[in-house]
Amino acid sequence: MKFGMIGSGSWGTAIVKILTDGNHQVNWCVRTEKMIAHIRQRKHNPNYLSSVNFNTGLLQLTTKSAEVFRESDAIIIATPSAYVIPSLEGIAAADFAGKKIISAVKGMLPEENLLLNDYLHNKLDFNLQDYHTIMGPCHAEEVAAEKLSYLTFSGLNENATEEIAGYFRTPYINTVINTDIYGVQFAAILKNIYALGAGIAHGLEYGDNFLSVLIANCADEMAGFLKKAGIMNIEVGVHAEPDAEHPRKSPNYAASVYLGDLLVTCYSLYSRNRTFGNMIGKGYSVQATQLEMNMVAEGYNASKSIFKINKDIHADMPIAETVYRILWEQMPASEGFNMIEGSLI
C-alpha cells in the first residue's frame, strides 16, 4: 500500500517515522520548498521532532496535496483541524475515488463544525467504508524517543482496519482496532477540552488531590456525552466474550483510546492543551497564550464546537461548558473554577 501524508507538524512527523521505520514509502506533503530541501539534506524535519532522522529514500516530498492524492492509495490527514479544509483545496471528489482516508485529526473542522468523516461524506460524497481514524494515547515526542505506545485504528470494516493497522506495527508501536469511528473522534476532541481544564486548574495552583477529582468528573462527563451522542460500548467492565477471531477483550470506555487518552492528555507535560490551560490559569489571555506557544492547542476551538453541538445533545457538561466560557466569553478562570468546585462528585 502506498501511503500519503498531509501534515508536517509533530504528529504528522511522528507518523511518517512509524511508517518509514517499517520500511514503507510515504508521499509527504510539507509546507515549503525550503523544508523539502532541509529534509533531503539534513534528514530531519527542521521545525518538529528534529531528533528523528529519516531514510529519505523512502520519502517522496512535495508541497502539493494533489500530488499526494495522485500517488497514494491511503492518505493520512494529520493537520490541525482548523487547517484541514485549506489543505484539501484543489482536491475534487473524483480524486478521492478508490482512496482510503486515515484521519489523525483530533478536532472538529471549525468552519463547518463537523467531524472530518461527515465533512467528506456530505461535501464530497466520500464512501465511509474507506474512512479510518488513527488515535492515541500517543504523544509524538514519545514516538520520537521510541517509547512503547499504543495506537487505536477505527473503521467500519474490521478486516480493512486490521490490514491498515498492520502497516504501523513496530517494536515501539502496538496497535488496537475497533469499529467506533464516531466515539473515538468525539473522545479525542473532548479529552483536549478537559486537558485545558486540568491545565487551568494547575495554573490556578490547585493541588493533585483536586486534580484527580476534576479528571474523574471529566471522565464521567465525557461518558455521559458519548452516551447521549449514541456511542455504544461505554459501560466499564462489560466486554463481548472473546473467541478465536477476537481473542482480545472488546473495547469499552476504560480502553486506552477513551479513558487512557483522557488521562495522559490531562497529566502529561507533553500535552499542548494542558500547557495552554496552565497559562490561562496563570492569567495569560488567549491571544497571548497562542503567541507564546506558537503551536495549536486543539481544545480551544473544540470547546466552542462541543458547546454548539451540546445544544442539541443536552448532555450535562458543567466542566466543558465552563472551559468554553473561560476561553470564549472571558469568564475569569478563578470564578469558573469556583463554580466547578460545587459540581464535582
- What is the model's pLDDT at position 234? 86
For the chain, the structural domain boundaries read: 3-179, 183-341
Grid coordinates belonging to 52? 528523528
The residues, any chain, with a CB within 8 Å of residue 52's CB and separated by 6 or more, are 13, 14, 17, 44, 45, 144
DSSP string, 174-207: EEEEES-HHHHHHHHHHHHHHHHHHHHHHHTT--
**Banded pLDDT at 246 (limits 50, 70, 90):** confident
User: Distance (Å, rounded) from C-alpha 295 to C-alpha 7?
Assistant: 14
198-245 tens-digit pLDDT: 999 999 999 999 999 999 999 999 999 999 999 988 888 888 877 777
DSSP string, 117-167: HHHHHHHH---GGGEEEEE-S--HHHHHTT--EEEEEEESSHHHHHHHHHT
- What is the model's pLDDT at position 247? 77
Residue 222 near residue 262, CB atoms below 8 Å: yes
- What is the model's pLDDT at position 145? 96
315-337 tens-digit pLDDT: 999 999 999 999 999 999 999 99
52-95 tens-digit pLDDT: 999 999 999 999 999 999 999 999 999 999 999 999 988 999 99
Flag whether pLDDT at 257 surpasses 90: yes
Name the residue with higher pLDDT: 243 or 161: 161
Flag whether pLDDT at 122 surpasses 80: yes
- What is the model's pLDDT at position 70? 95
183-341: in CATH 1.10.1040.10: yes
Please name the CATH architecture into which domain 3-179 falls: 3-Layer(aba) Sandwich (3.40)
- What is the model's pLDDT at position 236? 86
**Residue 147 CB coordination number (10 Å):** 11
The residues, any chain, with a CB within 8 Å of residue 64's CB and separated by 6 or more, are 29
Instruction: Judge if 3-179 and 183-341 fold alike in CATH terms.
Output: no
Cis peptide leading into residue 137 (ω within 30°)? yes
User: Distance (Å, rounded) from C-alpha 204 to C-alpha 199?
Assistant: 9
278-298 tens-digit pLDDT: 999 999 999 999 988 877 899
